[in-house]
């Protein structure tokens, strides 16, 4: 694992959305793996781990993502593009995901059966809109952790919604039951003309206590 650089407060404050990256910087398998190894500790509803990442480095594939992202310069100069997908049908995996806990005796057979049944009905009862919300909600939490992990390991990022999801789906062969939640451009930021951090509302404006 790459050595870490920041304590948590410093890490949160150091992460910025990169405006442009230094072109030509490569990120290798090991460096990506180190980031994903931390992203896997993101919380997820019922521990269903709804998120799937597609890491794009191949120049031809990158060019297609660049097109799908309306030719934003930072997409072409990034070292890797991380497509964050949420799986709408993640709940169907509940039995397999809990088998280890059953085999280790952490869950009794009864508890295992109850968990599987209740998760399946939780999602099927709530329907398609809920499954999509869940896909995006859980993928977004994972993506935030990924960006912090990347920063800690010396990589800058920019989360992006500026892309055409259908074009992205076609370019990357994304199955129908996965929703593109975010595109994350990853690389080393060119900070030569970095703007000051964007305005943040004071806490009193976005927090209320005990009622809205």
Ligand X SMILES: Cc1cc2nc3c(=O)[nH]c(=O)nc-3n(C[C@H](O)[C@H](O)[C@H](O)COP(=O)(O)O)c2cc1C
Q: Which residues bind ligand X (CB under 6 A)?
A: 16-17, 158-162, 182, 197-198
Nearer Cβ to ligand X, position 159 or 165? 159
Give the nearer residue to ligand X in terms of CB position, either 123 or 180. Answer: 180
The whole-angstrom separation of Cα 84 and Cα 166 is 14
Minimum distance, C-beta of residue 164 to ligand X, in the bound complex (Å): 12
Residue 190 CB, nearest approach to ligand X (Å)? 14
Provide the minimum distance between the beta carbon of 176 and ligand X in the complex, in angstroms, as a whole number: 22
Beta bridge partners of 85: 52, 180
DSSP string, 170-208: HHHT--TTEEEEEEEEEE-B--TTPPPPPP---HHHH--
Residue of closest CB approach to ligand X: 162
Indicate the residue among 59 and 196 with the shorter CB distance to ligand X: 196
Please say whether the beta carbons of 135 and 181 come within 8 A.
yes
In the complex, the smallest distance separating the C-beta of residue 2 from ligand X, rounded to whole angstroms, is 22
**Helix, strand counts (H, E) of the chain:** 8, 4
89 or 133: CB nearest ligand X: 133
């Amino acid at each position: 694992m790459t050595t870490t650089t920041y304590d948590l407060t410093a890490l949160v404050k150091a992460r910025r959305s990169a405006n442009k990256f230094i072109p030509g910087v490569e990120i290798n398998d090991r460096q990506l793996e180190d980031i994903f190894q931390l992203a896997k500790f993101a919380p997820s509803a019922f521990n269903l781990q709804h998120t799937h990442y597609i890491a794009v480095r191949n120049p031809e594939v990158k060019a297609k993502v660049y097109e799908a992202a309306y030719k934003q310069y930072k997409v072409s100069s990034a070292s890797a593009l991380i497509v964050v997908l949420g799986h709408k049908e993640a709940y169907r995996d509940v039995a397999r995901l809990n088998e280890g806990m059953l085999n280790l005796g952490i869950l009794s057979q009864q508890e295992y059966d109850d968990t599987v049944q209740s998760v399946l009905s939780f999602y099927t009862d709530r329907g398609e809109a809920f499954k999509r919300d869940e896909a995006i909600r859980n993928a977004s939490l994972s993506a935030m952790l990924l960006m912090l992990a990347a920063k800690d390991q010396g990589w800058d990022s920019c989360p992006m919604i500026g892309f055409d999801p259908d074009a992205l789906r076609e370019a990357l062969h994304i199955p129908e039951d996965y929703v593109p939640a975010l595109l994350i451009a990853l690389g080393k930021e060119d900070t030569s003309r970095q703007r000051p951090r964007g305005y943040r509302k004071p806490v009193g404006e976005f927090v209320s206590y005990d009622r809205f």
